Structure 1
Amino acid sequence: MSNLSSLLVGHRVANWENKALDQDVVNKIAAGEIIVAPMHALKELLENSVDAGSTAIEVLVKDGGLKLLQITDNGHGIEKDDLPILCERFTTSKLKSFEDLMSIGTYGFRGEALASISHIAHLRVTTRTATSSCAWQAHYADGKLTPAKPGQSADPKPCAGRLGTQITVEDLFYNIPNRRRAFRSPSEEYAKILDVITRYAVHREGVAFSVKKYGESGAGFSVAAAATKTDRIKQAYGGGVAKELMEFGTEDAKWGFKASGYATNANYSVKRTTLLLFINNRSVESSAVKKAIEQTYQMFLPKGGHPFVYLCLDIDPTRVDVNVHPTKREVHFLNEDEIIDLVCANIRENLAKVDTSRTFKTQTLLPGLAPMTPMNNRRAVATAETPDGDESAVSRRASTTKKPYENNLVRTDSKMRKITSMLPPAVTRGDTQDELPSTNNLRYTNTGREPVQVRLTSVKTLRAEVREAMHNGLTEVFASLTYVGLVDSNRRLAAMQSGVKLYLVDYGLASKEFFYQVGLTDFGNFGLVQLQPQPKLRDLLDIAAQYQIETAPDCADLDRGQVVQKVHDQLMGKRQMLSEYFSLEISDEGLVEAIPLLLKGYTPCMAKLPTFLLRLGPFVNWTQEEPCFRTFLRELASFYVPEQLPSGRRRDGPRPSKPDLADTAMGGTGGDDRDQEDEDEVEVEVDQNQNQTVDERRKELDHALEHVLFPAFRSRLVATQDMLKGVVEVANLKGLYRVFERC
């Protein structure tokens, strides 16, 4: 072997040689796993105080616990002889052998909390036991005793102090600057500390808790030792939660558990679930328990509503593994699914019992609607609900009920009387108003396509453009809308309500923006609308070109055959891309097999299909990726916009001129955002649709607006600045009250 080869081999061996990490590095790694934030240090210290039999725990915080975190208890204290090894790793009085883990009943057991804190902070312990004549104070660094000042002895010093232990943690993460810089603000860390304390304050009856910021006289939170469970919940989470609480509990010897707790009933609802979960008195998290509880409440709360639940599970220690997570945030236990099902069933049963006490306020926005309960029956109903028919109780309840201001009441049921019922019918028809339109025997099947994850920069850029153009106020209006009714199908106007305001909406403009956004969000994952029979692409293009040349004077000199051939060749050459990205299926023989499905339950007017396909030639920029996607999706959105239905009588006279295709029909890039559904064009297209009358289509459109389009707007539409011109406020209930008050 040459000298060079020997050198290289030796170099590789040296690089791959294993070396034991320095013990200081090992300790800091362990400390970083256990003490992730000030709240974790507090949780460890808090649990130690409870294990020590404390009945009063006080917490002092400065800069969110990063500068100072001090916890004082009145527990049994720490013996002086134990102080030298107090902060050494794996030093504990709670375990003797590994088998003790099978029946552990205390919070701490590994002896790592104080050791970890001493490696990343300045730690001071002051403690006194019942048998000691004075308190003893010790300082720690890196798990060992250290002198309070340079040159002094590291041994514990006698000092004045009360029974119990005070642990002071200063400058947390002072030697881990990257971790310290990661914290956003002291106020955010203080809020997390409050969350830890309030959880244990609710659970640990018989223990007083208080926490305050350094330098402030008043406590941020405090609860007395004698406070009951409901008082503690009220103190920690407010009276709104406490007054709607119901108690629940269940147990099963087969699965070795007992569950108890408090949960809010169906009258309480907030945007986010609050779950206080304790397993064998240990505060833990469980996504499975939380998800199951949220599903239980779905049938009782309004959409988007969530409960408050305090759940205490006592499980046979032999069935629980607490040694799962460094911070003891999670535990594993046997028969988890069965236990969760039994607990949720008990909560559901209790919810059903109290569901009869739910109260609702109804109000009639439009005149002429009879109340749901006849006035002469209300007193009888109220009397029946009181024991022994106590009518005085009814009168007392009525006198204490605060009547809301009428100008703040809003219509909350979209099935109530609509504006269309107040308008005279345009023509007399034999059918009934309640008859639902035909669905044309639509059937949905699974395409078998795998979902595609789109990572194209161009699509992400287009989505970002929509977010940047978002109008917050108008988006909130659409997100809380209640559909009122169709006003004018010719001008595409509908009425909707949001809060106490009534709006007229150009649903054509809203639909165009909505379907463009659907095209971006579902890009590459559209459904398919199968066409039967399958029309020829050339025939559809020929129909659209002939109509365009006949109606637009500027297009009269165009060669129809040349225009059709140009667009036909362009679409045939792009068939693979059209199929992959947009689900527009064109066969090798030039048959249009399928078009994209953007919204289930809604089918666009198929009479607009020829014009849509023709416009894909000149009005889509096929040369660049981002403009291509933008212009194609705009054309697709225009195709999906509901057509303008004509008035009852066909108009005579010359037609207005159309925007021409002359400049772009022979290969221009286009990109014009013209709305292709103007009135006269659609009148002809509707006349071409021989399968249904205008009245039938109007009924289908009315049904689609109420049950498909406007609910989709409410759930998915991001209203943009350009949509402001299509929404007009026509009534404000509070404003109307002010007007009529002057009369």
Structure 2
Amino acid sequence: MADQMDLESDGPRGIKRTAQEAGLPPEAPRRIKALDQDVVNKIAAGEIIVAPMHALKEMLENSIDAGSTSIEILVKEGGLKLLQITDNGHGIEKDDLPILCERFTTSKLKNFEDLMAIGTYGFRGEALASISHIAHLKVTTKTANSSCAWQAHYSSGKLIPAKPGQSSDPKACAGRRGTQITVEDLFYNIPNRRRAFRSPSEEYAKVLEVITRYAVHREGIAFSIKKHGETSTGFSVASAATKLDRIRQAYGALIAKELVDFAIEDPKWGFKASGYATNANYSVKRTTLLLFINNRSVDSSAIKKAVEQTYQLFLPKGGHPFIYLSLDIEPTRVDVNVHPTKREVHFLNEDEIIEVVCSDIRERLAKVDTSRTFKTQTLLPGLSPMTPINMKSTGLTDSPSTSGSVPRNKSSTKKPYENNLIRTDSQMRKITSMLPPALTPGASIDESSGSADGIIYTATDREPIQIRLSSVKKLRADVRESMHNNLTEVFASLTYVGLVDSRRRLAAVQSGVNLYLVDYGMTAHEFFYQVGLTDFGNFGLIQLQPAPRLQDLLEVAAQHYIDTESDCANLDKDEVVQKVYDQLMNRKQMISEYFSIEISDDGLVEAIPLLLKGYLPSMAKLPTFLLRLGPFVNWTEEEDCFRTFLRELASFYVPEQLPEPSSAPPTNMEAEDMDLEDPSNEDQQTGTPSNDIDASIENRRKEVVYALEHVLFPAFRSRILATEAMVKGVVEVANLKGLYRVFERC
């Protein structure tokens, strides 16, 4: 108890005592001393050269300042082991080599006032000095007036001999005009920083990003980079390449084909701006901003944020653009000396300039968006009205019309073999008697164009609808996430070779030096599904004149399913038709608004959606398409409803299987897809001779062949995103390198 009382009387615990209270002698004040020059230089080097990409950027800018038209880079282990840059610039004089790597030695600045109007990349003379303090540096250079090249080695800013015991003076050697700078063992004397780099491949990617940025911006200069020990280049661009070609080579064809160019000039704020921006068809998860101010690659969080806010009106949530922006601002308005690596610059009237640039981009994106025209299509204008129909207990039959149609002679009917029929009952009415075919028997196709005659396209003044439904955005995102990059590149650069097999829907395309067989049925299905998502709510119209009755179309399709599908044999046709009819009529307003299927109050199908100008789907598939909208579309959940509906619409638009010209009669499966009977028999319902059916098939085949070459595959090239599921529909059959190897063995 006494010990406890003594402890409590010692005062509060946890209070720090001063040195005087503790009885310690006072500490003498620390003296200020100048740092050793070697420490100063290494500190400066650590600020300027943070990673291999910064060393390359400094040397690259020096090469551009030297008037080079060709720059080659060699990299080993991401630049940590070797970083070499070779240019064909004006070179360095031999007399300047001794002070080349000393700090603050430059040919670009004399007085401080010159800094107010600097027009070059470098100006402080610290780049090579910093590199020489943290790496082994070798310079080989030759000017136009020099009879030979000169080679020098540097360490800590000073000339050193190439080998111990030799002179440190520059040595004469063979070489071409220009300068080659070799940096080896970067950060060899700063082990902590050397260990901080995670992987050489990651540093190489950063080095490559620096090259691609300058390659895009600096037209007239050829760039190339490759890894040490490899024969092929990682990236290269010719000096004659245009800016758009440079973007395509550096960032891919998907970006290049969606670019909108812009150019602004405002004397009030003393700047000019030009560049390229992606339109609303391109969207990724991260913004790519290539920003150059007075030809200097810089970062600006303010400009990046303003650009992203501009695109919020045009891209789905989470979508970001690609922007290349070059700003030319009066040098007196720019302060370049605000960052050790020159990564940032400050300029006057920053907010005003950003607003002008973003406003111009916004206007151009809006023009691109509103320039889309919505096409309506009149189907077969000028044709006579449809043959009247009478409903009988035995099914749909034709009645004699005043126009001279010939009634059927039942006594002359001959039942064909079942394996040659689409339907088991030849008495059933066909869609061709209710909806006139795209080409009447005997009509021909213009061999030069391959397109059907009589199609009229008219533009409407309907304003585009902004779709902000989260379900549609989710479906679009699902497509982007399932994208197969390599296959998308194949489609983006394809050249159509020709139709291989119309029965199996195979076509040959070339991409690069490779030849592929493509299942264009599978490709078209995915393409039209994506078109349905991107143009959701903004489809054109194919007007059906005269408009068929929805009830009749559903009965044709239902009877076909009952007669041909064993699983559907026990279904009540009238019940199925009525249920689907009620579903579509109850939702006709929604179907019209979102999918452009126009159904009148009295049940006439007046229009169907137009997904691609220049291509008509097979009207023989229309009854099946409408019937499947009942059981195969999930009408209870929004996202699943849109997905299943658009899948059915895509199936309707897929080109049907067709026989080869002058081939044998189609099989059951092919006849079902074409909705045609055996052409060897006379049409039992309308009395159409078999040669007329053959002509109709041949005309449709010519339409599809023409559409594949001139409409569908060009559309695939311009806008399809190939998905993982499409890989099984593309087979490589030949490649140039492989053929060379085959010939070498011969």
TM-score where L is the length of structure 2: 0.51
Taking the aligned partners of 1:384 and 1:501, their CA distance within structure 2 comes to 25
Taking the aligned partners of 2:457 and 2:233, their CA distance within structure 1 comes to 48
Taking the aligned partners of 1:496 and 1:349, their CA distance within structure 2 comes to 35
* Correspondent of 1:276 among 290, 309, 313: 290
Q: Which moved more, 1:209-218 or 1:243-252?
A: 243-252
Relative distance call for 1:108 and 1:422 in structure 2 (3 A) is farther
Cα displacement (A) at 1:381: 3.9
Q: Name the amino acid aligned to 1:241.
A: I
Structure 2 partner of 1:100: 114
Within the alignment, does 1:17 sit opposite 2:28 as a pair?
no
Within the alignment, does 1:204 sit opposite 2:225 as a pair?
no
Relative distance call for 1:8 and 1:209 in structure 2 (3 A) is farther
8 Å Cα contact 2:84-2:182 kept in structure 1: yes
| Unmatched 5+ stretches in structure 1 | 362-374, 386-395, 426-431, 434-482, 488-493, 503-733, 735-743
Cα displacement (A) at 1:19: 2.1
Within the alignment, does 1:233 sit opposite 2:247 as a pair?
yes
* Correspondent of 1:63 among 77, 80, 87: 77
8 Å Cα contact 1:485-1:495 kept in structure 2: no
Cα displacement (A) at 1:122: 0.3
Taking the aligned partners of 1:238 and 1:359, their CA distance within structure 2 comes to 28
8 Å Cα contact 2:263-2:275 kept in structure 1: yes
* Correspondent of 2:126 among 98, 104, 112: 112
* Correspondent of 1:28 among 30, 33, 42: 42
After superposition, where does 1:165-314 map in structure 2 within 5 Å? 165-314=179-328
> What is the SS of the residue equivalent to 2:223?
strand
Relative distance call for 1:346 and 1:147 in structure 2 (3 A) is same
After superposition, where does 1:624-703 map in structure 2 within 5 Å? none
Cα displacement (A) at 1:42: 0.3
Taking the aligned partners of 1:197 and 1:134, their CA distance within structure 2 comes to 30
Cα displacement (A) at 1:95: 1.1
Relative distance call for 1:237 and 1:250 in structure 2 (3 A) is same
Taking the aligned partners of 1:497 and 1:23, their CA distance within structure 2 comes to 73
> What is the SS of the residue equivalent to 1:247?
strand
Taking the aligned partners of 1:159 and 1:8, their CA distance within structure 2 comes to 72
Cα displacement (A) at 1:380: 4.1
Q: Name the amino acid aligned to 2:80.
A: L
8 Å Cα contact 2:141-2:149 kept in structure 1: yes
Relative distance call for 1:210 and 1:117 in structure 2 (3 A) is same
Taking the aligned partners of 1:305 and 1:152, their CA distance within structure 2 comes to 61
8 Å Cα contact 1:128-1:163 kept in structure 2: yes
Relative distance call for 1:282 and 1:133 in structure 2 (3 A) is same
Per-residue CA deviations over 1:507-527 (Å, capped at 9, x if unaligned) read xxxxxxxxxxxxxxxxxxxxx
Taking the aligned partners of 1:97 and 1:119, their CA distance within structure 2 comes to 26
Cα displacement (A) at 1:357: 5.0
Taking the aligned partners of 2:203 and 2:134, their CA distance within structure 1 comes to 17
> What is the SS of the residue equivalent to 2:27?
helix
Q: Name the amino acid aligned to 1:195.
A: E
Relative distance call for 1:423 and 1:45 in structure 2 (3 A) is same
Per-residue CA deviations over 1:672-713 (Å, capped at 9, x if unaligned) read xxxxxxxxxxxxxxxxxxxxxxxxxxxxxxxxxxxxxxxxxx
Taking the aligned partners of 1:422 and 1:293, their CA distance within structure 2 comes to 51
Cα displacement (A) at 1:358: 5.2
| Unmatched 5+ stretches in structure 2 | 1-18, 376-437, 439-451, 462-495, 500-506, 508-519, 539-577, 583-588, 591-632, 647-724, 726-746
Taking the aligned partners of 1:168 and 1:498, their CA distance within structure 2 comes to 59
8 Å Cα contact 2:224-2:236 kept in structure 1: yes
> What is the SS of the residue equivalent to 1:12?
coil
Structure 2 partner of 1:136: 150
Relative distance call for 1:10 and 1:150 in structure 2 (3 A) is farther
8 Å Cα contact 2:373-2:460 kept in structure 1: no
Within the alignment, does 1:52 sit opposite 2:66 as a pair?
yes
After superposition, where does 1:368-387 map in structure 2 within 5 Å? 380-381=456-457
Taking the aligned partners of 1:195 and 1:358, their CA distance within structure 2 comes to 35
Give % identity.
Answer: 73
Cα displacement (A) at 1:303: 2.1
8 Å Cα contact 1:275-1:311 kept in structure 2: yes
Cα displacement (A) at 1:218: 1.0
* Correspondent of 2:100 among 75, 86, 90: 86
Taking the aligned partners of 1:49 and 1:350, their CA distance within structure 2 comes to 36
Q: Name the amino acid aligned to 1:13.
A: A
Relative distance call for 1:76 and 1:424 in structure 2 (3 A) is closer
Q: Name the amino acid aligned to 1:12.
A: E
Relative distance call for 1:182 and 1:485 in structure 2 (3 A) is farther
Taking the aligned partners of 2:223 and 2:348, their CA distance within structure 1 comes to 33
Q: Name the amino acid aligned to 1:125.
A: V
Cα displacement (A) at 1:310: 0.8
Taking the aligned partners of 1:233 and 1:80, their CA distance within structure 2 comes to 38
Structure 2 partner of 1:332: 346
Structure 1 partner of 2:177: 163
TM-score where L is the length of structure 1: 0.51
Taking the aligned partners of 1:360 and 1:23, their CA distance within structure 2 comes to 72
8 Å Cα contact 2:141-2:175 kept in structure 1: yes
8 Å Cα contact 2:84-2:183 kept in structure 1: yes
Cα displacement (A) at 1:246: 1.6
Relative distance call for 1:335 and 1:495 in structure 2 (3 A) is closer
Relative distance call for 1:304 and 1:85 in structure 2 (3 A) is same
Cα displacement (A) at 1:406: 3.8
Relative distance call for 1:497 and 1:172 in structure 2 (3 A) is farther
> What is the SS of the residue equivalent to 2:273?
strand
8 Å Cα contact 1:484-1:495 kept in structure 2: no
Relative distance call for 1:495 and 1:105 in structure 2 (3 A) is closer
8 Å Cα contact 1:486-1:495 kept in structure 2: no
8 Å Cα contact 1:210-1:223 kept in structure 2: yes
Q: Which moved more, 1:266-275 or 1:63-72?
A: 266-275
Taking the aligned partners of 2:168 and 2:213, their CA distance within structure 1 comes to 37
8 Å Cα contact 2:288-2:322 kept in structure 1: yes
Taking the aligned partners of 2:112 and 2:23, their CA distance within structure 1 comes to 48
Relative distance call for 1:205 and 1:405 in structure 2 (3 A) is closer
8 Å Cα contact 1:414-1:484 kept in structure 2: no
Cα displacement (A) at 1:200: 0.5
Taking the aligned partners of 2:639 and 2:272, their CA distance within structure 1 comes to 54
Taking the aligned partners of 2:86 and 2:247, their CA distance within structure 1 comes to 23
Taking the aligned partners of 2:326 and 2:215, their CA distance within structure 1 comes to 13
8 Å Cα contact 1:266-1:358 kept in structure 2: no
> What is the SS of the residue equivalent to 2:28?
helix
Per-residue CA deviations over 1:595-638 (Å, capped at 9, x if unaligned) read xxxxxxxxxxxxxxxxxxxxxxxxxxxxxxxxxxxxxxxxxxxx
Taking the aligned partners of 2:211 and 2:458, their CA distance within structure 1 comes to 44
After superposition, where does 1:385-396 map in structure 2 within 5 Å? none
Taking the aligned partners of 1:358 and 1:166, their CA distance within structure 2 comes to 52
Per-residue CA deviations over 1:256-277 (Å, capped at 9, x if unaligned) read 1011111122222222211110
Taking the aligned partners of 2:48 and 2:260, their CA distance within structure 1 comes to 36
> What is the SS of the residue equivalent to 1:325?
coil
Relative distance call for 1:111 and 1:193 in structure 2 (3 A) is same
